[in-house]
Amino acid sequence: MDYFTASPKPANLDRQVTLARAFIQQHAEQHRRVALVTSGGTTVPLENQTVRFIDNFSAGTRGATSAEYFLQSGYAVIFLHRQFSLLPYSRHYSHSTNCFLDFMTHNDAGAVVIESEYQQQMAKVLDQYRKAKRENTLLLLPFVTVNDYLWLLRELAIQMQPLEANGLFYLAAAVSDFFVPAARMVEHKIQSSEDYHQDVTNGDGDRPPAAHMEDKRLIIDLDPVPKFLKQLVDTWAPRSMIISFKLETDPSLLAKKAKGALQKYSHHLVIGNLLNTRKWEVLFVAADGSERWIRVPLGRRTRSVTGKDGDTIENAEPREPSIEIESWIVPEVAQMHTEVISKGKVEMQRH
Ligand code: PAZ
């Protein structure tokens, strides 16, 4: 059965699509390019009334940072993101690395002001944020589950069809590969104790529920998520530029798998990255078969510690890139998008 026939439509989908429709229409009229940037991880609920779910590592750094550079490059951005993950602009002052209160102080008159050392950077971020608000170039649409994500992606792609080649898909979200189909999801919280009888009748007939207790063990038996990229390229967004990301942990697999994805789905670009180095190097694999690493310099280690014998040693802090790699990725992508658009125009003139 088709995924969307078998999976419940999210309750807030129509409202999100209405917002997107108006946003896309505005930018289509202004002949502005629109990038759909996906960001953060999707969850896989194990129960309908969800207490437990499977999640992944993604904080949405790639997506939120890239969205800012798309806006700087003149795009309007639909930011399809995991609820409460990093957001463009506020990412500089949110989540665990920076508490926004650390940026503030009292002045002599007792008013709360920004610490002088942060003024310049914050003024820059604030200007960009205000510009995006004034021009209505950033639309934030949240998802939580993989089901929310798939429904939204399909509906947004359909809404973006009138943009034709001016539409761009930049799929940086970490989307679950496995999920619990609605027909095999239990209604209530899975009970860990055998003292409480659990109704396990919500299987699909032959199979038990995807998550259930058996001999005091929690058994989780997930189905594969359908390959939505194929449908996006062939059916939902056939005229847009489509860029997917490929994450691996084994360096020897990255290029092979990125090339495999391009061959399988015939889209425009796969950006490969490794979990541990993703902030400073990515691999561009393009439809013409070319492969190219983009690497930004790493900054110096900022902290050193004194060893047992009194020597100063570099500590084991991971090094951070001195430049945000997205500030190199996005202009390259925008340039490729320009080429795709002009190629499309030449092809249209030929017909
Ligand atoms: O969100 P983040 O910045 O921590 O991580 C970004 C990323 C590694 C999820 C992204 O660059 C990516 O590779 N997304 C695709 C993952 C995949 O489905 O292979």
CA of 207 to the centre of ligand 1 (A): 33
Confidence (pLDDT) at 202: 59
Closest ligand 1 atom to the C-alpha of 57?
A: 4
Asked if residue 56 has pLDDT above 70, the reply is yes
Looking at the domain that runs over 15-96+128-178+229-350, which CATH code has it been given?
3.40.50.10300
Residue 203 near residue 221, CB atoms below 8 Å: no
Q: Indicate which residue's Cα is closest to atom 4 of ligand 1.
A: 58
Confidence (pLDDT) at 136: 98
Strands 211-214 and 53-54: unpaired
C-alpha angle with apex 243: 27 to 25, nearest 5 degrees? 15
ipTM, 2 decimals? 0.99
Write out the H or E segment, with its range, that includes residue 343.
Answer: helix 326-350
Confidence (pLDDT) at 153: 98
* 3-state class (DSSP) for residue 37: strand
Low-confidence winner among 57-71, 120-134, 209-223 (lowest mean pLDDT) = 209-223
Which of 337, 350, 251 lies closest to 74, judged by CA? 337
List, for residues 301-332, the tens digit of each pLDDT value. 655 555 566 665 555 556 789 999 999 999 99
User: What mean pLDDT is predicted for residues 17-25?
Assistant: 98
User: What mean pLDDT is predicted for residues 339-345?
Assistant: 88
List, for residues 198-225, the tens digit of each pLDDT value. 666 555 667 889 999 988 899 999 999 9
Beta-carbon count within 10 A of 77 CB: 28
Confidence (pLDDT) at 320: 86
Q: Indicate which residue's Cα is closest to atom 5 of ligand 1.
A: 58
Does ligand 1 lie within 6 Å of residue 258's CB atom? no
Domain ranges of the chain: 15-96+128-178+229-350
Q: Which of 58, 65, 246 to mutate to test the pocket of ligand 1 (most atoms within 8 A of CB)?
A: 58
Does ligand 1 lie within 6 Å of residue 271's CB atom? no
User: What mean pLDDT is predicted for residues 13-20?
Assistant: 98
CA distance to 52, 168, 265, 333, per residue, from 231 (Å): 30, 16, 9, 22
List, for residues 143-168, the tens digit of each pLDDT value. 999 999 999 999 999 999 999 999 99
